[in-house]
Amino acid sequence: MAATLESMSVSPDELKVRIESAIPGTRAAVSGDGHHFEATVEGPAFAGLSRIDQHKLVYDVFGAELGDRIHALSLKITATEDR
């Protein structure tokens, strides 16, 4: 079942692309081992939001995959001033 195994593991690049395309103007750097990831994310979309809401914005990109397919995603988020 190569297809199943393939779909279980996630590449850091996939996370980067999904974050950047889901949240306009955002730049992400992601590293990880296929299950646990660390992401540094910055963009104007985070300006004026509480930390909780900043993290939720990124979590929402992945929905139920978090804690499941993506076992853990550690975030460092920076709001940038202008676009």
Partner 1 sequence: MSDPATNEMRDALKSAIAENPVILFMKGTPDAPACGFSARTVAVLESLEAPFAAVNVLPDPRIRQELSALSGWPTIPQLFIDGELVGGCDIVMEMHETGELQRLLGVSGSAGTAMAEAPAAASAAEPAPLSIENLL
Distance in Å, CB of 54 to partner 1, minimum: 9
Decide if 77 contacts 69 (C-beta within 8 A).
no
52 binds partner 1 (CB under 8 A): yes
Distance in Å, CB of 13 to partner 1, minimum: 21
Beta bridge partners of 37: 32, 73
What is the four-CA torsion angle of 35, 38, 44, 45, rounded to 10 degrees? Answer: 30
What angle (nearest 5°) sits at the alpha carbon of residue 8, between those of residues 40 and 77? Answer: 10
Q: Which of 59, 69, 79, 80 binds partner 1 (CB under 8 A)?
A: 59
Distance in Å, CB of 71 to partner 1, minimum: 10
Among residues 2 and 49, whose Cβ is nearest to partner 1?
49
51 binds partner 1 (CB under 8 A): yes
